[in-house]
Amino acid sequence: MENQMKLSDFSWLNQPQNFGIENDRLIIVTDPDTDFWQRTYYGFRNDNGHAFVKEIEGDFTFTVKTEFEAKTQYDQCGIILYQDSENWTKASVECENEDFARLGSVVTNFGFSDWATTDIPAFITDIWYRLSRRGQDFYIEFSENGRHFQQMRMFHMHNPISAVRLGVYACSPLKSSFVAAFSDFRITDCQWPEYKID
């Protein structure tokens, strides 16, 4: 399977007003009032975040670096796996305040989102993500240096998937805007070891 990914093969879900692509690096300036969320607890449904995705079949491992300058609560950027408005997953850093941010993930199955987070220092502005697929199961990891990855989450997508739309996203749920940059888009054969019962 190829390693470096061509950004010309990606397409937009909810293209932002301002973005740029140069030397295999994507820069997004988020529009205000943008988000991905479905129903749970809050009741609202948002499906207008900016996502830059490519259709991928089979098992794989996807890796990307994110850089961000979020300053307003809930500003966020990271990776996204998108089937449709009611079946998708995102993993990101979300701005909370001057002291800490939330590194977390949302898995949405059949129109209901969950939310799992851990607090990290607000001064962290670069994160690498690695997402692996084996059938309907997925595994997300993160790294602060692009070399040593730690588990974030293992999850299952209930709606049957053949090809997935996978890539990066950024959004600003409040009336704010920030700059997010994405680079080192890579796809390889699945690096998540297969579990075998003896």
* pLDDT at 195 exceeding the cut of 90: no
Render pLDDT for 63-94 as a digit per residue (tens, 0 to 9): 999 999 888 999 999 999 999 999 999 999 99
Q: Are 13 and 53 in contact (CB under 8 A)?
A: yes
CA dist 62 and 39 (Å) reads: 28
Residue 176's contacts (CB-CB under 8 Å, 6 or more residues apart) are 30, 32, 71, 72, 75
Q: Are 168 and 79 in contact (CB under 8 A)?
A: yes
Give 75-96 as a 3 state SS string: CEEEEEEEEECCEEEEEEEEEC
Categorize the per-residue pLDDT at 1 as very low, low, confident or very high, splitting at 50, 70 and 90.
low
Q: Is the pTM of this model over 0.85?
A: yes
Percentage above 90 pLDDT, the chain = 90
Domains detected in the chain: 7-188 (2.60.120.200)
pLDDT at 196: 81
Using alpha carbons only, give the angle 141, 146, 149 rounded to the nearest 5 degrees: 30
